[in-house]
Structure 1
Amino acid sequence: MHKDKKKYSIIVVEDNAGDFFLLQDYLEEMILIPDIIHVKSFKELESFLGSNTEAIDIVLLDLSLPDKRGEELIKDTLALVTTTPIVVLTGYPDFSFAVKSLALGISDYLLKDDLNAATLYKSIIYNIERNKNLVKLKESEQRYSDLFHLSPQPMWVYNPESLRFLDVNLAALTHYGYDYDEFLSMTTADITSETADEAMFFDIISDNFKDVSRHRKKSGEVIYVDTRSNTITYKGSDSKVVLARDITESLKHLEAIEKQNEQLVEIAWTQSHVVRAPLARIMGLVELMSDATTPTEEKLELLPHVLNSANELDEIIREIVVKSKLIIP
């Protein structure tokens, strides 16, 4: 028979020497080199755990110890080993107490009379692996909770069928002005605005954002939010988690930029069309004046025309400068 070569650190809490030796035989039959720590009372267990720095994989706990027993022993042991699976071993077949023990947080409940090497080994392996998965799940839930509650952007969880809020973070409370209980008494429809101008920012939104909604704060202020949502399991039910980014100021900024662009286009048209007329006249007059065959008297007559065209060009340039200052003060 092949033995498990992995190292397992196992605490056996058992005051009966005969029962301990039997458990030791079972463990050594299935595991090549089990690391067995034997304690005979709750006080010894408490003392060992207080000084031990090594990780413990599992605790095998007899329910009748010299200093504690039953429910009190279970509760106090669970308080000592919060992240380690505990398998109860007892000689008393009490089904109702077994159910209660599991409800308290015990990983498994085994009868000594029905125990053998294979049964004990299967329970140990199953509960060690199950505990690892539970720890990973709790860590994942904690990471989600931290990301949710510490996010600087408003976030909430809601039921996609009833649309009722299930949870909201601090940023949402601060930004929307509702307290936590108010949020949980509402649905997502309660913060949706139906009075905002439909056409406002339409082109800007369609060109720059993907999923924009109009929301109303408790104060009545209407805001535009860019939302992102994902399906999650929240407290056992399919739910939606939403991140809402207020883009109202961004939209106003983009609108101002578009207006500036329109004015710049107007200035560019002025430069390419209005400026061209006096400039073309000046160039034509200068060409005549520079022609050696043009009489001096005619050249003198052309000077006022050059001056008029120059003044006209100067006035156009002044208008362009004024418009430019309106765009960029």
Structure 2
Amino acid sequence: MRKDKDPYKVLIIEDNLGDFILVSDFLEETILAPEIDHAPDFKQAVDILNQSAAGSYNAIFLDLSLPDKSGEDLIIEILKMVRQTPVIVLTGYTDASFAIKSLSLGASDYLLKDELSATTLYKSLIYNIERFKTLLRLKESELRYSDLFHLSPQAMFVVDRVSNQFLDINEAAISHYGYSKEEFLEMTLNDIMQEDDFKKYECRPAEKNPDQSSFQNLFRFRLKSGTWVDVELRCNLLLFNGIKAEVILANDVTERLTHLNIIQEQNRRLKEIAFEQSHVVRAPLSRMMGLINLIKTTQISQKEELIQLLGYIEGSAYEIDDIIREIVRKTETLKQEGDL
């Protein structure tokens, strides 16, 4: 048999020397150079684990019946000390029923001593090491999700995809919307979303719309006070405690939209002012240009005629000045309204 060259360090907690030797021999049949430690009772197991670094063992094989501790208490105490290491229970037929229960207490697997072989032992070792790594990664991922969710400064909800029931709410949502967590958990998304918006709402994860511009997923949500606010929604699908759900980030853009609408209205009115005044200013300007052209092309012999023409030009200039002042007044009024 080709032996596994990877380094493995295991602790065998077993009071029966014969069983310890058997398990050790089976491991050495399949692993090139396993590092094996032995604890014949609970006390020595505690001493070994206390002296070793957390996670230093790849796996622990545990006999359920030790002279100084056994059964459920033994499982619980060992698991407290090795949270980052899979514990594989070794048992005889008489303890088989409890071995199954040990899985619910947190043991990774159980093996019947009378059915042990080098192959079954090796398969159990490798399977539980990899399975435990996967579970640790999953827990770390869940912890990161929890931190991102609950510490987010923006309101976030977890909603059941079928019933639309709120399953989880972060502190930002509770603070912003005014409902307590208990009140949220009694509600559905429909209870805070405008009815017409709810009918058209569909979770479309952001990665499916990478080019989506701002203000595309706009909906209206109701605060506990009764006030309606504009929110921009982003969502992702996830499995929450075994339930098909979606996590929704609700960004309140009411103030931004208000400012945007004010700016758009100002631009519209400025265009109107520019259009209207451009036509108004053309009349006196045309008169001025005509009068100036008349002076340039006509022999004017009388001083009184020239003074009269210049008076007309001056009057048109004052008219243009009044028009410009009116444009400035209207734009200043718009600016003050925008500041409000």
Q: Same fold (TM over 0.5)?
A: yes
What is aligned with 1:128? 129
Matched AA of 1:316? I
When the two chains are superposed, the root-mean-square deviation of aligned CA atoms in Å is 2.0
Change (3 A) 1:228 1:208: closer
- Partner secondary structure for residue 328 of structure 1: helix
Alignment of 1:224-303 (within 5 A): 224-291=230-297, 293-295=299-301, 296-303=303-310
Provide Cα deviations, 1:52-75, integer angstroms capped at 9, x if missing partner.
Answer: 226211001112223211111111
Please give the alpha-carbon distance, in whole angstroms, between the structure 1 residues aligned to 2:277 and 2:8: 85
What is aligned with 1:114? 115
Please give the alpha-carbon distance, in whole angstroms, between the structure 2 residues aligned to 1:159 and 1:5: 47
Change (3 A) 1:38 1:208: closer
Alignment of 1:63-212 (within 5 A): 63-193=64-194, 209-212=215-218
What is aligned with 2:318? 311
Percent identity for Structure 1 against Structure 2:
52
Provide Cα deviations, 1:189-241, integer angstroms capped at 9, x if missing partner.
Answer: 11123599xxxxxxxxx995222111111001111111122221111121121
Provide Cα deviations, 1:20-69, integer angstroms capped at 9, x if missing partner.
Answer: 11111111000001011222222222222222226211001112223211
- Partner secondary structure for residue 164 of structure 2: coil
What is aligned with 1:6? 6
Matched AA of 1:283? M
Please give the alpha-carbon distance, in whole angstroms, between the structure 2 residues aligned to 1:325 and 1:289: 38
Shift of 1:328: 2.3
Is 1:326 the counterpart of 2:333? The answer is: yes
Contact 1:93 1:111 in 2 (8 A): no
Shift of 1:164: 1.2
Change (3 A) 1:22 1:195: closer
Contact 2:96 2:112 in 1 (8 A): no
Matched AA of 2:168? D
The gaps in structure 2 that reach 5 residues or longer are 198-211
- Partner secondary structure for residue 172 of structure 2: helix
Provide Cα deviations, 1:108-136, integer angstroms capped at 9, x if missing partner.
Answer: 11121111111111111111111011111
Please give the alpha-carbon distance, in whole angstroms, between the structure 1 residues aligned to 2:45 and 2:281: 96
What is aligned with 2:202? none
Please give the alpha-carbon distance, in whole angstroms, between the structure 1 residues aligned to 2:115 and 2:17: 18
Shift of 1:292: 6.8
Q: How many residues align?
A: 320
- Partner secondary structure for residue 220 of structure 1: coil
Contact 2:159 2:167 in 1 (8 A): yes
Superposition TM-score, scaled by structure 2 size: 0.89
Please give the alpha-carbon distance, in whole angstroms, between the structure 2 residues aligned to 1:70 and 1:163: 44
Contact 1:288 1:294 in 2 (8 A): no
Contact 1:84 1:131 in 2 (8 A): yes
Please give the alpha-carbon distance, in whole angstroms, between the structure 1 residues aligned to 2:170 and 2:183: 13
- Partner secondary structure for residue 94 of structure 2: coil
What is aligned with 1:57? 58
Change (3 A) 1:28 1:219: same
- Partner secondary structure for residue 33 of structure 2: coil
